Amino acid sequence: METEILFSRSEKDGMAWAEITLNRPDKGNALNMPMFRQLASIVSEIEADRSLRAVVIRARGRFFSTGGDIKAWGALTPHEMSRDWILPGIEVFDRLARLPQPVIAAISGHALGGGLELAMAADLRIAVRTAKLGSPEVTLGMIAGWMGVSRLAGIVGVARASHLALLGTPITAEQALDWGLITALAEDADDLEKQLGGWIERLCANGPAAMALTKGILATAHRDLRQHHASAAAEAAGTEDCREGVRAFMEKRPPVFRNL
């Protein structure tokens, strides 16, 4: 099986950075547990390499990521959901966010659900104009389990987080820029690479210790809500509405929710 997350190390003028590439384009780069294990291993490698000045997360194919693979979590019990899906995902995203190096999410296609949660674990986000970003979990009777709601509120504020997380309707990259969900807008793939190159050059020229300390200060704005998220996701997974949402997705029909 082809590796579903690729890791590479690049260098220019003696300055090095890492690139993490989602490599499951035929499945919309939907996230599964093997990918989380690969990502955890990559993060460990980055943590041990003090020469790296920045980290880029990107993806192959039309989508940045369509989120958590429903085939990976749709049949889990509530306890399994919390233990085997939510908490491991939160842990690896949290480790990614805590890296001392600045992390950039290069969003070349739609970032939805868990895909948006992954992008929000980055410090900087740039998206092509055609990308859409959203948190559609409620349309499946589920919630954003990997700290997505909390990260959204921290980035765009509670009112706009409510708009995204309760309506479940994606927004355009242009609107995401206006809301602060992304920090730059690229006209197309070429423009994304141009802007990304400029960011990497700037980050590699900055003081690495100063950037790490700055990240640490910014991180104090977030409380540890991992157990609360895991408990809420497990509760949502145990509802009949969530089971109906999964069945409807598999059967390619609109779900009929009964608040059960």
Whether 137 is catalytic is yes
**Residues paired with 246 in a beta bridge:** none
Catalytic residue among 11, 19, 47, 137: 137
d(CA 59, CA 77): 30
Q: Which residues pair with 68 in a beta bridge?
A: 31
Q: Which of 4, 19, 47, 117 is catalytic?
A: 117
List Cα–Cα distances, 127 to 58, 109, 132, 137, in angstroms: 10, 8, 9, 21
67 vs 29: CA distance, rounded Å: 8
The total number of residues written for the chain in this structure: 260
Residue 193 falls in the annotated catalytic set: no
- Give the integer Cα–Cα distance in Å for 4 and 21: 8
Determine the straight-line distance between the first and last CA of the chain, rounded to whole angstroms.
39
The residues that are catalytic are: 117, 137
